Amino acid sequence: MKTIGFIGCGNMAQPIITQCKEKNVFDKENIFVYDIDKVKLTEFCKKLGVNAAADENEIAKNCDIVVLATKPQTFPDLIPSISASLAENDPLIVSIAAGKTTVYIKELTGYNAKVARIFPNLNATVGEAVSAYTGNENVSDAEISKVGEICLSYGEAKQLDESLFSVFGVLGGCVPAYAFMFIGALAKAGVADGLDEETARDTAIQAVMGSAKLLKECGGDIDEWVKKVCSPGGTTIEGVTSLRESELDSVVKDAFHKSYVKDLLLSGN
């Protein structure tokens, strides 16, 4: 598995390609990329020093690993269009698309393909993603290990049964948006009570980032950490009480569940 080719060069693919190169998972000479946006493709490949492919079939015919990094709605047209090349080459096919199972992808190829899935998130941009990965019955131990290595290049990774991808996809994939909203709300609240926008935004980001790092590095029960920040009759407990009275847990659970149900619908489960 010396060569890897990416079909699609969008917001999710670019950081994965970048980190695969920077972490030496693949030599830059062995990374190939194709995108329908030729200007974006040329600029990205020139900047990174990787190879721009002429079309999707060039990647399907020649790469040991073929990463499907286009939007999932393109799959019904894309995969059959390269199926002959895939069948001839028999690469490991890796999808980063939400809601499309390995069974679905294998059926679209028209042969007994080796198919793996990765569920990354946008935090790969800064090397802090958390990804799930899995493979179908045709993927060897060495191949699934390589998929894990790719994931670890841009963050943390967990090998999961595919049946858990929908729930993981919400926790790993949707939560960054929830977190951005929470940070944004904190910043707006700071501005409303007197801080300038830059100070409020920077403080909210650092406070959330530091809190997450504290939990990760020190472990322990989350409720106990909440208690450690709160002093009886102090400022923090006043806000915590307000959040509890507003049923924060229920609001988050409802948002999570709606995202989860949507993913199940998209994947046909």
| Residue 185 exposed, middle or buried by CB count within 10 Å (0-12, 13-18, 19+) | exposed
Q: 38-75 burial by CB neighbour count: b if 16+ within 10 A, else e? A: eeebeebbeebebbbbeebbbbbbebbbbbbbbebeeb
Same domain, 54 and 151: yes
| Res 268: pLDDT | 67
Same domain, 109 and 218: no
pTM summary value: 0.87
* Pairing between β-strand 65-68 and β-strand 129-135 as defined by DSSP bridges: unpaired
* Pairing between β-strand 129-135 and β-strand 114-119 as defined by DSSP bridges: antiparallel
Same domain, 62 and 143: yes
Q: What is the DSSP string of 193-243?
A: TT--HHHHHHHHHHHHHHHHHHHHHH---HHHHHHHH--TTSHHHHHHHHH
User: Alpha-carbon dihedral of residues 95, 30, 121, 102, nearest 10 degrees?
Assistant: 10
| Res 269: pLDDT | 55
Same domain, 244 and 208: yes
Instruction: Please report, for the domain that includes residue 219, its CATH number.
Output: 1.10.3730.10
Any idea what the Cα angle at residue 20 is, between residues 14 and 26, rounded to 5°? Answer: 130
CB atoms within 10 A of CB 1: 16
| Res 85: pLDDT | 97
Same domain, 22 and 41: yes
Instruction: Please report, for the domain that includes residue 125, its CATH number.
Output: 3.40.50.720
Total of domains in the chain: 2
Q: Which residues of the chain have pLDDT under 50?
A: none
Q: How far is CA 131 from CA 50, 107, 127, 168, 194, in A?
A: 24, 24, 11, 9, 39
Same domain, 87 and 187: no
| Res 263: pLDDT | 83
Q: What is the DSSP string of 14-32?
A: HHHHHHHHHTTSS-GGGEE
Host domain of residue 80: 4-160
Instruction: Look at residues 160, 177, 195 and tell me which one is the last residue of a structural domain.
Output: 160
* Pairing between β-strand 4-7 and β-strand 65-68 as defined by DSSP bridges: parallel
Helix (H), strand (E) counts: the chain: 12, 8
Chain segment 20-70, per-residue pLDDT in tens: 999 999 999 999 999 999 999 999 999 999 999 999 999 999 999 999 999
